[in-house]
């Protein structure tokens, strides 16, 4: 069960945004990721709880940020309920999308798991619903993903396969690289892996 810490920063000016303490695990029914976020000041910012089925679809998502809450799942596309800080108003949303995304590295692993790409320069298009902090406002976006290469690296625990993806935002054309090893993000815009207590899990 990988357990560790990511640091999150603004990908443009590198302003520190948060630290995300996480643990995740694969199982016969899929994959689960749980994390707590803290601000640079040490204040609690929120949490992420994401569970995927064995096909990579989000069967449960629970996000908390600034007293806002999202509960969602793959249902007729993706469906969610967003609750305001007072708890008096809950709004439902549904979009014909493939999955969710957001600032947590968990969503990069989840999207890669959903797409299950083989090395190719041919991109695959995916529609996602992003929840933007601090109020978890939903936004539908389209990306294309391509698995550029997979390389095995020698480690003390045996070979570790690192996958490099090229991700393109289809609304702006902006491209960036994402490096994954199993269910851990090694490098991505705005994400740095600061600490990892055990090796990444390998998906079947």
Domain spans, the chain: 1-196
As given in the structure block, the two tokens for residue 43 are: 């204040």
Cα gap 116→121, rounded to integer Å:
14
Question: What does the H/E/C string look like for 62-126?
Answer: EEEECCEEEEEEECCCEEEEEECCCCCCEEEEEECCCEEECCCCHHHHHHHHHHCCCCCCCCEEE
Average pLDDT over residues 62-70: 94
What is the per-residue pLDDT across 170-186, written as a single tens digit (0 to 9) for each?
999 999 999 999 999 99
Contact 61, 80 (CB under 8 A): yes
pLDDT > 80? residue 99: yes
Q: Give the pLDDT confidence score for residue 89 in this predicted structure.
A: 84
What is the per-residue pLDDT across 120-150, written as a single tens digit (0 to 9) for each?
889 999 999 999 988 999 999 999 999 999 9
Q: Give the pLDDT confidence score for residue 17 in this predicted structure.
A: 95
Q: Give the pLDDT confidence score for residue 121 in this predicted structure.
A: 81
Confidence of residue 28 (pLDDT cuts 50, 70, 90): confident
pLDDT > 80? residue 15: yes
User: How far, in whole angstroms, is CA 32 from its chain's centroid?
Assistant: 11
For 42-46, 85-89, 128-132, which range has the lowest pLDDT when averaged over its residues?
A: 85-89
pLDDT > 80? residue 204: no
Contact 165, 158 (CB under 8 A): no
Contact 78, 58 (CB under 8 A): yes
Name 27's Cβ contacts closer than 8 Å, sequence gap at least 6: none
For residue 131, the tally of other CB atoms under 10 A from its CB is: 24
Cα gap 17→40, rounded to integer Å:
7
Q: Give the pLDDT confidence score for residue 160 in this predicted structure.
A: 86
Cα gap 69→62, rounded to integer Å:
7
Q: What percent of the chain has pLDDT over 90?
A: 84
What is the reported pTM? 0.95
């Amino acid at each position: 069960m990988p357990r560790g810490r990511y640091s999150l920063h603004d990908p443009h000016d590198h302003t520190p945004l948060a630290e995300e303490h996480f643990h995740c695990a694969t199982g016969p029914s899929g994959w689960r990721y749980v994390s707590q976020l803290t601000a640079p000041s040490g204040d609690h910012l929120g949490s992420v709880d994401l569970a995927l089925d064995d096909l990579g679809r989000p069967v449960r998502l629970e996000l908390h940020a600034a007293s806002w809450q999202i509960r969602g799942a793959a249902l007729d596309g993706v469906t969610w309920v967003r609750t305001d800080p007072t708890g008096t108003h809950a709004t439902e949303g549904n979009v014909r999308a493939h999955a969710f995304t957001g600032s947590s590295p968990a969503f990069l692993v989840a999207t890669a798991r959903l797409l299950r790409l083989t090395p190719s320069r041919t991109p695959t298009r995916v529609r996602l619903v992003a929840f933007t902090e601090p109020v978890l406002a939903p936004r539908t976006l389209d990306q294309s993903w391509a698995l550029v290469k997979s390389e095995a690296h020698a480690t003390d625990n045996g070979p570790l396969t690192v996958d490099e993806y090229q991700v393109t935002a289809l609304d702006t054309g902006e491209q960036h690289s994402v490096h994954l090893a199993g269910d851990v993000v090694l490098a991505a815009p705005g994400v740095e892996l600061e600490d990892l207590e055990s090796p990444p899990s390998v998906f079947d």
